[in-house]
Structure 1
Amino acid sequence: MSPRTRDLLAQKRPRRVRSRAVSTLPPLVVSSLKPHEVDLMVPALVCPTCRTWVPISTPHSPRPKLVPHHTERAGTDAPVRCPGSHRLVTVNLTADQWFRRLEEGLTQTDGRRSTRVLRKPKVGSAPAVMQIVGGTVDDKTARKLDEAHVRGCSTCCIKDDKGNVLRAVDLASRCADGRRLAQLAAHTRRLASARRKAQLDREEWNDRRAWGLRLLHEQQWQHVSGPVADADLRRVRDTLAALIQMLNPRMADAPQLSDWERADLMSAIALLATQEEQLTR
């Protein structure tokens, strides 16, 4: 009888870096790196040479180092190995210490102010005096302002020996405020007729609108006035019947009303009777 045989298959083994090569670059100290560039849970870190995430080979051994890696993406033809391969790593932090440093960094980052520049709106030029006052005063007010300025300004008026104002000087000889007020008075005097006409048209339009709204309200009320009157009359009659029944109860053992309660009921019945009479007219 032939001996029993079986197929021997090679088991898949985890890939490990078995090379004893060591990079000539100085060892990387984990505490000197930024917390977000290290992950001690994997463990891995960002290679300072090629700025890619690289696993740490045997992190708990006496001499942990970076695994060999390339500077290009995986599958690239003729890849170039990064000089940071086989670089020694000094793991001088525990996972809890690293995580605490990472949380502190996130707290400081969230508390910073935004660096976005907020542009201030551009301030427009100030309007002229005529544009500010011209729309708020009428021709009479503008003329009174001009006359008051002429009486109080020594530059804009001509006075006699006794100090009485004779007349106003020419527009070119006036002061800056006097010229503005004179121009405002002339401007409002030219627009007085158009302003009065616009005001009359606006008042007429408001009167027509109010009359139309009142007519619409009357038309709408005509459609519902009948049912509303019937509902009011029915409510008054029901209340009146209930009060009369309270005043003259049908049951013999019903509670007796006092004189004050009977007087209140009689007053309420009289008031409801008056309302019923008014609604039935």
Structure 2
Amino acid sequence: MRHNGRAPIKASRMRPEHLNLREGETPLAVCPDCESWHRLTRSMISPHRDSSDKPVKSGERRYFGDKPERRRRCPGSAQRITIDLTPEQWGQALLAADSTAAGRHSARVTRKPRTAVPTPVTRLASLPAPSARLLAVRDQARAAVHVHRSECEVCRTGRARCPGGRELEIRAGHTDASVRFVHEQHEAALRAMAAPAAPRRQQWRRVNAAVKRTDQQRSTRPAGDAPKDGGPSVPETPVRITA
């Protein structure tokens, strides 16, 4: 393999991350033209094709056995590399380059936006709103009343009701009352949750009488708990017992 006629490139002038001079491994270098890794053979970059060049479509072959066109030979092939570094020196230069690149990184910490805090469960209404099933039953009851009034000759006049129409109206009234009751309970629960808490003094004023009554009962000694006469006396001063 003959060199490409260019001047040799010293390894000390190349970027340390573009070389691989580890002991026990095949020496590698980055081609200065196509910037791809290749093996060093006799201190020269192995011949290779230009990876950045796209192959030309030649169409049909001119004759049997003709080879299709491929990528052109990279001009950096057989480039001489003068290894003027030891593996230790190359390793130190690689570490220095890594530390320099790490020092260029910004030390600014980008804080993520805080996530929205969901509403606590204690602030949610404990009583749910009317369910979809209950609302559907109410709509069906109302529709049944309207259909019956349009078809029944007695109920159509509005002056009287047949037994069937009266029963349908009663059912519709019951479902309306159920929906209104659930609505009122739900709104009352929402108002109770939204109402501000009573002040501390007002809360204490509500239970002050009961607390005083309890304190008086605790301070009064119950009858019948006093020791009876003739029972064992309890020493009031320290007593030394000798064997």
Q: Would you say same fold, with TM above 0.5?
A: no
- Provide TM-score, normalisation by structure 2: 0.39
Hey, which of these two has a bigger chunk of helix by percent? 1
The TM-score, its normalising length taken from structure 1, stands at 0.34
Point out which structure has higher relative CO (alpha carbons under 8 A, 6+ apart): 2
